A and B are shown apart, each in its own frame.
Chain A
């Protein structure tokens, strides 16, 4: 199954001058592509675990780099390389988890 068949929702996340860090908060089920080029997954913060929820973070090539098969709250620092971008998948039976993902790209461009 190629990434084209994942049903990805593209989100564009800006960075501000002074820091390359970008932050996006996700709170509904779906597969969100938050970056489309090489990135560094800095941290994943689960603020609410939702109900029967599951989340995974993939790099832009579809390789899983952060799994959470049963969501629970917490802050996970990674600083992990993500080739080709970042994809966050949230899945739950009823209430989606509330997740904040922090990441960096090489410059301030929104691509």
Chain B
């Protein structure tokens, strides 16, 4: 398996782990702690990706993309790597290898929000708090 391929537990399903059901808190943004390898869909609509607070680099790479994967669990890398591409899968943040630090972005996304942490050893993931705010989010 190459460093860019998905792990088997994701290939058997939709190709990602869906975290979009997380409720919107009354104050502040949604937060989720990345502590495993894989591909995670945090949001399926527009919003603002606020920050990555990475406290352990682990191994592998970390991609944060404006969009959601296609049915095969992958993005259109042939398009994403072209200049001036603003469609599904536009890169918001790329760290290869992962670097510890407080990476403040406040970056807007249109198509969704996906975090892809792959490569390196499966048992040595990075640890990071990811914070984002969906557009016009309502507190339930």
How long is the Cα–Cα vector from A111 to B13 in the complex, in angstroms?
Answer: 45
| Chain B residues within an 8 Å CB radius of A69 | 55-56, 127
- Whole-angstrom distance between the Cβ of B107 and the nearest chain A Cβ: 14
Query: Is B131 touching A79 in the complex (CB atoms < 8 A)?
Result: yes
Cβ–Cβ contact A74 & B102, under 8 A: yes
Contact A78-B51, Cβ < 8 Å, known A67-B33, A67-B129, A69-B56: yes
Q: How far is the CA of A83 from the CA of B24 in the complex (A)?
A: 9
Q: Which residues of B contact A67 (CB under 8 A)?
A: 33, 35, 55-56, 127, 129
Binary interface profile of A, 41-65, with partner B (CB < 8 Å = 1, else 0)?
1101000000000000000000011
Residues of A within 8 A of B50 (CB): 78-79
Q: Which residue of A lies closest to B56 (CB)?
A: A69
Total residue contacts A-B, CB cutoff 8 A: 85
Do A66 and B29 touch (CB < 8 A)? no
* A65-B102 contact given A38-B25, A40-B27, CB 8 Å threshold: no
- Residue of chain A at shortest CB distance from B133: A79
For the complex, what is the distance from the CA of A105 to the CA of B26, rounded to whole Å? 10
Interface of A is mostly: strand
Of A39, A40, A64, A75, the residue contacting B102 (CB under 8 A) is A75
Are the C-beta atoms of B35 and A40 separated by less than 8 Å?
A: no
Residues of A near B31 (CB, < 8 A) are 41, 65-66, 78, 80-82
What residues of chain A lie closer than 8 Å to B56, measured between beta carbons?
Answer: 67-70
Within 8 Å of chain B (Cβ to Cβ): is A106?
Answer: yes
Q: Which residue of chain A lies nearest to B35 when distances are taken between CB atoms in the complex?
A: A67
A76 on the B face (CB < 8 A): yes
Is B101's beta carbon under 8 Å from chain A? yes
B104 at the interface (CB under 8 A from A): yes
Top 10 closest A-B pairs, CB basis? A81-B25, A40-B28, A81-B28, A80-B31, A40-B27, A38-B26, A76-B53, A68-B55, A76-B102, A65-B31
